[in-house]
Structure 1
Amino acid sequence: MPGEVDTEDYADVWVFIEQHDGEAAKVSWELLAKGRELADEKGERLVALVMGDSVTHLAEEAIERGADEVLVAEDPIFEPYLPGPYGEQFRYLVEERHPDVVLIGGSHTGRDFAGRVAVPTYAGLTADCTELDIEPDTGLLLAKRPTFGGDAMATIKCVEHRPQMATVRPGVFDAAQPDPDREGTITEVEVVVDESHQRSRMIERVVGDITDITDANVVVAGGYGTEGDFGPVEDLAAALGGEVAATREAVEEGWIEAARQVGQTGKTVKPDLYIACGISGAIQHLEGMNDSKTIVAINDDPNAPIFDDADYGIVGDLFEICPALTELIEQKRGETA
């Protein structure tokens, strides 16, 4: 059967360094940090892969952030991103070099081309992972992800096929910090793609105006208790210079865009301050924000589970408390201006 392999021929942990216009996506550095842990536990090397045009500076940064070797595929064909060239080049390198574990950010880009690598190589691919571990006895990758609409967590492992691939949700790991004294190897690899692999072409690239909430230092989130009125939440977030987020229920009701959903089936955030307004505290939501440094809960139900995870709790009507907090913050800022 195709895909049956001698697993002993596969080694090393690979991390794909996603970049756009020469700037690395934050999830790439998050995966390097986790990849470093996994590689050390397996006693193998951490290898980063960079594709693009004029991206040597990212290879150098990947070394500083933990990679032992960086494979660089540098050619104008990789700019802007298109799934055909990226997928074909990545597939070639996987088949040539036999990595054991491959980690790709669960971004629009990563999810777009990961399957183009996994399917032709008969790899095992787990999507949208929130936890990664190594099984002690076997050295297999344990990829954990939400399932059944976020009501349960599944642990998936690939026993027979290689590489073991995973796309990982942005924000679930802390980013690797650079160490200018680290040394590693930068290897320029053969570019095996050409225009024949470009079955689509980029007509126009439009970047939305929604800030990535995973980068926010302050997040103010609204839940079902807002009853669809996010005005007080938005005003408080604006006063604090933060971003607005929401629960799955609020998104499913159509009250706010899906890009702002926090939870097992949404995004994972780790801000300095997280204010939960009208959020009961279901476990699915808590999984996406419980690593926040300070959590403030506002809810009119004193028995709401959210208070068990909050550092500070305010029992009351969010439509009264949020405007009062907004006014107080704006007043204090006016006094110090």
Structure 2
Amino acid sequence: MTIRIIQDNCIGCGACVIACPFGAIMQADAKAFISEACTMCGACLKSCPVNTIVRETAEKKVSMDKAKADYAGVWVYIEQTAGRIRGVSHELLGEGRKLADAMKQELAAVLIGDNVAALAKDIFASGADKIYLVEGAEYSHYTTDAFTAALHDLITTYRPNVLLLGATNDGRDLAPRLACRVGTGLTADCTGLDIDAGTGLVAWTRPAFGGNIMATILCPDHRPQMGTVRPKVFKQPVPDYTRTGEIVNIASKVNTENIRTRFIELLQVCTTSCNLEEAEIIVSGGRGMCSAENFQLIEDLAEALGGTVAASRAAVDAGWKPALHQVGQTGKTVGPKIYIACGISGAIQHLAGMSASDIVIAINKDPDAPIFKMADYGIVADAMEVLPIMLEELRNTKAG
């Protein structure tokens, strides 16, 4: 139940301001408005000479609740490129399976692309019950207009309760546009998913205030409940290729004339050395490397290990490595088998980006550096002295 003032009819007489015993009605620009201090006592209703204050019953809320009941199912948007599903999509299928089971609902995947039906077996193996498949030449490369239109059509037709997307470059572009189009909320860059015991809603957890606190966000009034999840936060499920499911083929309704961008050429500005989310071994450097020239040691060690080069925000801000290599709260979230932190003190923002690593090896000359609290193995020494020794040992081992 709520009390509101019909602004178009308000004459600004001030009678309701005087009548309110709680001071919850104020006046501005010759109009009265009700603040959050209102207790819905109703004292203002009879005071209005033009009957512009009304009490609304719960009928509207009942209607909204009924509409929300029409939404069911957990959906995962599948990112794929060059005929290969990105790892974050498998991670989300694993977590989506847990959410769907807890909510006793169906887990569905949304696969959009050109000639991508062959990927269905991998999607079912990761836990999906159903796949909504949209194929067409207009989806051969990701474009905001085409993919937003396709997903918007699916949502309005099939009404999912929950939609999960990866917090990748494409996901961060697609999700807010889609949330605005369907009129729902979006929790971005989540690092945790759960079911709220009191409401049964998805509890989206994400870092806030520079990673100093973890905020849990609910979306009680709108559907679908949407969120983007950082890659490598969750582990990929063990695939079960005995699983099968239903494929729903959806005819494309996208008009190519409405796609405002045109693919001309793919430029490889960064090779696999920048693909931090998929890397199994990462060698990362921080402020303790002292200069861009010293990062050659990081690159040599990564090459010897068959790994990938990363950097802390301090190293990126100093211009020693491009932002594509940054790991942390404002960079990429990684979860390799081995993470070697060289000259990185371990600020909370950096730890948030690499905490999912299986094994952490830290090299820092400060014995009290926070990175050692997370490290499985720690070396208290100057990274510039340790890295050449490690390289020599690796090369000798390979030579032998």
TM-score relative to the length of structure 1: 0.94
- Alpha-carbon distance between aligned partners in 1 of 2:271 and 2:366, rounded to the nearest angstrom: 31
Given residue 220 of structure 1, which amino acid in structure 2 is its aligned partner? V
Match of 1:167 in 2: 228
Match of 2:289 in 1: 226
List per-residue Cα deviations over 1:152-200 (Å, max 9, x = no partner): 3322211111111111111111123321211211111232112132122
TM alignment of 1:114-129, pairs within 5 A: 114-129=175-190
Q: CA deviation at 1:31?
A: 0.9
Q: Which has the larger radius of gyration?
A: 2
Match of 1:263 in 2: 328
In terms of mean alpha carbon deviation, does 58-67 or 4-13 score higher? 4-13
Secondary structure of the corresponding residue to residue 149 of structure 1: coil
Which ranges of structure 1 fall in alignment gaps of 5 or more residues? none
In terms of mean alpha carbon deviation, does 98-107 or 194-203 score higher? 194-203
Secondary structure of the corresponding residue to residue 126 of structure 1: strand
Q: CA deviation at 1:265?
A: 2.3
Secondary structure of the corresponding residue to residue 353 of structure 2: coil
Question: Are residues 152 and 248 of structure 1, via their aligned partners in 2, closer, same or farther at CA, if it must alter by over 3 Å?
Answer: farther
Out of 213, 216, 231, the position equivalent to 2:276 is 213
- Alpha-carbon distance between aligned partners in 2 of 1:299 and 1:66, rounded to the nearest angstrom: 42
Match of 1:188 in 2: 249
In terms of mean alpha carbon deviation, does 113-122 or 145-154 score higher? 145-154
Checking the alignment, whether the CA contact within 8 Å between 2:233 and 2:356 is kept in structure 1 is no
Given residue 323 of structure 2, which amino acid in structure 1 is its aligned partner? A
Match of 1:63 in 2: 124
Checking the alignment, whether the CA contact within 8 Å between 1:146 and 1:265 is kept in structure 2 is no
Which ranges of structure 2 fall in alignment gaps of 5 or more residues? 1-59
Residue 11 (1) aligns with residue 72 (2) = yes
Residue 21 (1) aligns with residue 87 (2) = no
Number of residues of Structure 1 aligned to a counterpart in Structure 2: 334
Checking the alignment, whether the CA contact within 8 Å between 1:150 and 1:265 is kept in structure 2 is no
Checking the alignment, whether the CA contact within 8 Å between 2:232 and 2:356 is kept in structure 1 is no
Residue 241 (1) aligns with residue 306 (2) = yes
Out of 231, 245, 262, the position equivalent to 1:201 is 262
Checking the alignment, whether the CA contact within 8 Å between 1:235 and 1:323 is kept in structure 2 is no
TM alignment of 1:1-337, pairs within 5 A: 6-211=67-272, 212-228=275-291, 229-335=294-400
Secondary structure of the corresponding residue to residue 288 of structure 1: helix
List per-residue Cα deviations over 1:26-46 (Å, max 9, x = no partner): 211111111111111111110
TM-score relative to the length of structure 2: 0.79
Secondary structure of the corresponding residue to residue 115 of structure 1: helix
Secondary structure of the corresponding residue to residue 15 of structure 1: strand
Secondary structure of the corresponding residue to residue 150 of structure 1: coil
Secondary structure of the corresponding residue to residue 193 of structure 1: coil
- Alpha-carbon distance between aligned partners in 2 of 1:20 and 1:235, rounded to the nearest angstrom: 29
Percent of aligned positions with the same letter in both sequences? 47
Secondary structure of the corresponding residue to residue 287 of structure 1: helix
- Alpha-carbon distance between aligned partners in 1 of 2:220 and 2:311, rounded to the nearest angstrom: 38
Q: CA deviation at 1:4?
A: 5.7
- Alpha-carbon distance between aligned partners in 1 of 2:250 and 2:238, rounded to the nearest angstrom: 26
Given residue 167 of structure 2, which amino acid in structure 1 is its aligned partner? G
Q: CA deviation at 1:205?
A: 1.8
Given residue 215 of structure 1, which amino acid in structure 2 is its aligned partner? E
Instruction: Name the Cα RMSD after superposition.
Output: 1.8
List per-residue Cα deviations over 1:82-131 (Å, max 9, x = no partner): 11111011001101111011011111111222223211210111112222
- Alpha-carbon distance between aligned partners in 2 of 1:24 and 1:13, rounded to the nearest angstrom: 19
Secondary structure of the corresponding residue to residue 244 of structure 2: coil
- Alpha-carbon distance between aligned partners in 2 of 1:73 and 1:113, rounded to the nearest angstrom: 16
- Alpha-carbon distance between aligned partners in 2 of 1:283 and 1:80, rounded to the nearest angstrom: 37
- Alpha-carbon distance between aligned partners in 2 of 1:166 and 1:149, rounded to the nearest angstrom: 19
